[in-house]
Structure 1
């Protein structure tokens, strides 16, 4: 398995297709959440993903400050169902945080976390900065990481 990180312009058409397919499989089909995934922010993001024999099995996007929030942010965090429970999401988030701190030179990261993942993100240093609210019918909470 190989981790890759690319800007939108560095992604091939095939990679974009695979990323959007995985995001639709999880967010739209599995979580039964009807929303427009291609929101215009992908082209201003870094895309961190894990490939296993040519298949993208985990991904997230890292947004520059000012794209979604005044801080840098991490969004669209996904691990394919068959790959969950193996520590991939923790490894991916640690890589994302490190990239944002070291390459993007940012010290704050804001996320819009699904509420059931509150403890997971808390274990990585994120703190709640909002009350729980519904986004697309799913409970969320805004969280902030400061290095």
Structure 2
């Protein structure tokens, strides 16, 4: 497992959630991918439209879902967006300073989903160079 994968996902937390949720885990993970993608899109849309209040709920939702599955870096960026947006709603200003964080949010969400896919999809985790049996070779076939 790469260092990047360790930094993006708390694998111990991920596996604990997987064990606790049992057969429903894959369904929860598919909800995360679908709902998380919608939350990120809603946050991006709210930024484009400069709709501060529109940042709060999707960021809050993404934060909770991410923490449930061990994606703490993603949860931290979502939490920053949520808390900053809440403050800005109260002070009646738009949080322009969140633009880099929203860009980072999309990147982190994509990395997280990709790592979750690799961890749960048997077709993505299969390594063709380490199949069973010995390596097929016909170098000695037919030689006398």
* TM-score, with length taken from structure 2: 0.26
Q: Which of the pair has more CA radius of gyration?
A: 2
* TM-score, with length taken from structure 1: 0.25
Larger RCO, structure (CA 8 Å, separation 6 or more): 2
* Higher relative helix content: 2
